[in-house]
Structure 1
Amino acid sequence: MSRAALRNVHIYDSRNSEYLGGVRQNGSITQRNFYDMLRILLVVSPPNQDIEVHPRGAETVIPADTAPLPPGHYDISCPQGSFSMTDESLVRRVHSRSSASRNTSFRDAVRARDGLCVLSGTPNGNAIINDWSAFEAAHVFPLERASLWTQCGFSRLVTQTPNTNSMNSVQNGLLLTSSIHCLFDNFLVSVNPYDGYKIITFGDDNFGLDGRTLHQNCRNTTNSENVVDELLFWHYRQCVLANMRGAGEPTFEWDFPPGTDMMKEIREGPAPTERLEIEISSRLQTHV
């Protein structure tokens, strides 16, 4: 099913009425946020030219302010230039539960720093008996994309580096409940570190996360183990690409009960070749 089915905001090219994409507004996306999202989604030429957002069929320009973006249909224009849809590839990922749980130093460091789900604020009352069964240490940047991690130079941003793999630094981790971890890995919820660490839900807001603020436990300015802002924004950028462009990216199936022909489901699902490659890479990274 296309992610477009979740949208209540739709955008069009004012020049030819081509459908460009859209987003789900659960209440937290301001008009300024929307313009910033469009700057991720669209390539403007010349780069310093402004884009404008108009209610469909109207000349009124929506201001880039802190007012909530009303659901609806909008035309996009660039009066002093032109724009096109970015061809930047989405960095697809697989659910990281199994790989995270196998790296005990990463898991333990994230638990010790956060102590609760940093998106929902849900505390772990069972931590006193060392029961974390409903909580998981999630990687912000996926382990299976090690070559891209190196290419982007993200290791230089991490100061708390384990002996084995900088991607397993606590600064690349968040403690999440199991359900929210799935949404995070599927690019359906994210944090904008450059807008007060606001949480935005890109699908239906089933868990009441939209508009909340990332918990301070993982971003305390005096803590050298803070999650890295640039990694959070990288994840946020992927969410914009996955959910707003065209029909949106397909979602992967995570649940393979015993006896399921996993390979068959992957081959018959979306992006089968890439999915298989990152599944293999994910499993290899658990041994690094």
Structure 2
Amino acid sequence: MSTGARTAKFRDAIRERDGRCIITKEQGRWISIPAESGGSINSIQNGMLLRADIHSLFGNYSVSISPDDNFKIVFFMEDNKGIASTHIDQAFIDDPKRPVDQLLRWHFRQAVLANMRGDGEPAFESDSRPGSDMIGEIISGPKACERIKVELFGRLAGYSEVI
């Protein structure tokens, strides 16, 4: 993570807005993290205050927030602390500077997909014979649209920069 005046301003603004981990509601020293989105990384709407362990769980999609279910906290793993199915504080929800619902919804959907792999995604053979018409085979085969997406995103994902 970069350092400097902009990053410090971003961090301090999030700490001032949230005051504590928005998921565990515990006070202490926390990490401010950017939400997965485009746009300015240093916008306060692209961050939330999370405890370090929750930060890791949020980052690997083991924990998320469902804005369409009254901002319910959803664990995709065992929750030994009784946090799952609780809700984000109303003060955070009412704050106009909080992350927008679309970002939280995007993260929640990614968490669902990440935790459904193997159960919800079709498996496609990705190897083609050298010199074969791979696109032609995909288009003429079953679930062509889904398979094209898998091929494109699978190949392009290796070139995307993760922040």
Normalising by structure 1, report the TM-score: 0.40
Counterparts of 2:2 and 2:65, CA distance in 1: 22
Deviation at 1:276, TM superposition (A): 8.2
Counterparts of 2:32 and 2:68, CA distance in 1: 23
Question: 1:109 corresponds to which letter in structure 2?
Answer: A
Task: Report whether the alignment pairs 1:210 with 2:87.
Answer: no
Task: Report whether the alignment pairs 1:229 with 2:101.
Answer: yes
* 3-state SS of paired residue (1:194): helix
Give the number of the structure with larger relative contact order, counting CA–CA contacts within 8 Å between residues 6 or more apart: 1
Counterparts of 2:15 and 2:60, CA distance in 1: 22
How large is the RMSD of aligned CA atoms in angstroms? 2.8
* 3-state SS of paired residue (2:54): helix
| Structure 1 residues 29-68: aligned runs within 5 Å | none
Identity of aligned residues (%): 40
* 3-state SS of paired residue (1:219): helix
Deviation at 1:106, TM superposition (A): 1.4
Instruction: List structure 1 segments (4+ residues) > 4 angstroms apart after TM superposition.
Output: 99-102, 273-277
State the Cα deviation string for residues 193-249 of structure 1 (Å, max 9, x = none).
0110001000121443211111234222xx33122111100000100110013168x
| Structure 1 residues 63-212: aligned runs within 5 Å | 98-99=1-2, 103-124=7-28, 132=29, 135-141=30-36, 149=38, 155=39, 166-212=40-86
* 3-state SS of paired residue (1:210): coil
Q: Which residues of structure 1 form unaligned runs of 5+? A: 1-97, 125-131, 143-148, 150-154, 156-165, 249-270, 283-288
Question: 1:210 corresponds to which letter in structure 2?
Answer: A
Decide which structure has greater strand share.
1
Decide which structure has greater helix share.
2
Aligned pairs, number: 129
Counterparts of 2:62 and 2:48, CA distance in 1: 16
Question: 2:33 corresponds to which letter in structure 1?
Answer: A
